[in-house]
């Protein structure tokens, strides 16, 4: 997608390669759900049951991955998704 700048009010984040995810856990929505680009600059973002979509900026598929962390009471499960095989558009 080109020409859309609504991802961020920060000029340096208004272009680049983004991946959009709709994160819906199979076993029901946990008490806490976060998503993060490992190797990114923003840190984890908390997702809500009413808004579980994430738009993540990807700069380097060899150095970054996506971490999703779900927590219920004292149990935490983390999944890491590698980005190898994803082709980024050169700017």
Question: What are the mean pLDDT values of the chain's consecutive 10-residue runs (91 residues total)?
Answer: 72 83 86 94 90 91 95 92 92 67
Torsion, CA 30, CA 28, CA 39, CA 57, rounded to 10: -120
The model carries a pTM of: 0.85
Strand, helix or coil at 13?
helix
If we measure between CA atoms, which residue out of 83, 90, 88 comes closest to residue 63? 83
Give the model's pLDDT for residue 37.
Answer: 96
């Amino acid at each position: 997608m080109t020409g859309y700048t609504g991802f961020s009010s920060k000029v340096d984040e208004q272009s680049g390669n983004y991946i959009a995810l709709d994160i819906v856990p199979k076993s029901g929505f946990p008490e806490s759900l976060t998503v993060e680009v490992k190797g990114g600059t923003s840190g984890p973002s908390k997702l809500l049951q009413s808004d579980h979509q994430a738009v993540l900026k990807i700069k380097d598929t060899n150095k970054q991955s996506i971490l999703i962390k779900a927590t219920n009471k004292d149990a935490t499960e983390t999944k890491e998704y590698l980005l190898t095989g994803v082709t980024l558009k050169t700017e």
